[in-house]
Amino acid sequence: MTSGTGIVLGVDAGGTATRALALGPDGSVLGSGLAGGGNPNSHRPEHAAEAIAEAMTAALAGLDAAAVRACVIGMAGASKLTDPAVADLFRRAWDDLGLPAPPRVASDAEAAFASATSAPDGTVLIAGTGSIAGRIRARRMVSTAGGYGWLLGDEGSGFWIGREAVRSALDALAGHAPLGALARAVLVEALGEVGTENAGDTTGRRQLAYRLITAANAAPPVRLSRFAPLVSTASVAGDPAAQEIVRTAARWLTETAMATREPGERTPVVLVGSVLGRDSPVGTLVRESLAGPEVLESRDGVLGAAWLAAVDAFGEHAPRPVAGSGAGVP
């Protein structure tokens, strides 16, 4: 057990929601808070700063803010704080809370890694809408692979898988064989139940292809990720086109993770994101490909951020917080 007094505060500031936890020296949850999205890339910086401050204030309700010994904010879009004007907005929001010292801002990847393991070194592989791998040393991300965004990369991500699903359907429409399960699912998702009508002749297929291209381009590019779950379903059902997309996505993600590792490295790999979930065919193949090191799943970013704060305040042997303990995890 660690010794010490005071409170630590951990925050997970994502694009959709911001969550905060206040912990005691024994890892018990003393308070929790929930607010809107705190990612300054997804929201106006002033709104993101307000959301983070709101969640922190709720977590500290009934507690002495002056007793906070460390605070870590795991933030998607942390790079935005390199802008002095944005950094000043956040600094003023945090100053109003009365904390003895400013929070330490970590990346959401660092918080995710810390949520799964107490190891100081390893790799974090993230594949949701986008994809990126990070090399973790002393619980800090020191280098990355991938993460170039939908236009320049993000291979193996939900966006990439969805785009490949649409391309596969277009290729199927250009041929003469009966449409497979994936192609039909893509057409129904994009065009409705009438999406597979008139697919039996060349003219009808060409018209369906034009309609699919028009529908795909009418929405923001990121919306292509909505087709990704169709690939998982069709792959499990045995559709060859879907299975090829799954294999390719898994290969890309495995290569991205390995690009951050030294030869023979045995440190843990932490997986984050829906594409890498246990029920995902891509996630299953990635786990098989990374069979050498210990492969773990991120538990919860706010737990990771809170534990990083505990390590800052109480040392390496600070107890890890447990979801559902004390005031609970929002």
Where residue 171 sits, what CATH number does that domain have?
3.30.420.40
Residue 142 CB neighbour total at 10 angstroms: 11
Q: Which two tokens stand for residue 65?
A: 């803010």
On whether both 168 and 220 belong to a single domain, the answer is yes
For the residues 219-248, what does the mean pLDDT come to? Answer: 96
Domain count, the chain: 2
Give the pLDDT of residue 196. 64
Q: Which two tokens stand for residue 193?
A: 């139940």
Give the burial class of 112: count Cβ atoms within 10 A of its Cβ; 0-12 exposed, 13-18 middle, 19 or more buried: buried
- For residues 298 and 123, give the distance between their C-alpha atoms in angstroms, rounded to a whole number: 12
Q: Mind listing the pLDDT tens digit for each residue in 11-48? A: 998 878 899 999 999 999 999 999 998 888 778 888 98
Q: What is the amino acid identity at position 90?
A: F
- pLDDT classification of 65: cutoffs 50, 70, 90: very high
On whether both 135 and 259 belong to a single domain, the answer is yes
Residue 197 CB neighbour total at 10 angstroms: 12
Q: What pTM value is reported for the model?
A: 0.85
Cα–Cα nearest to 125, from 112, 138, 139, 106: 112
On whether both 212 and 243 belong to a single domain, the answer is yes
Backbone region of residue 2 per phi and psi (left: phi > 0; alpha: psi in -120 to 50; beta: other values): beta
On whether both 214 and 147 belong to a single domain, the answer is yes
Boundaries of domain holding 189: 121-293
Cα–Cα nearest to 104, from 136, 70, 144, 133: 70
On whether both 185 and 37 belong to a single domain, the answer is no
In a domain, 2, yes or no: no
Specify the residue for token string 């984050």.
Answer: 272
Mean pLDDT of the chain: 89
- For residues 210 and 193, give the distance between their C-alpha atoms in angstroms, rounded to a whole number: 17
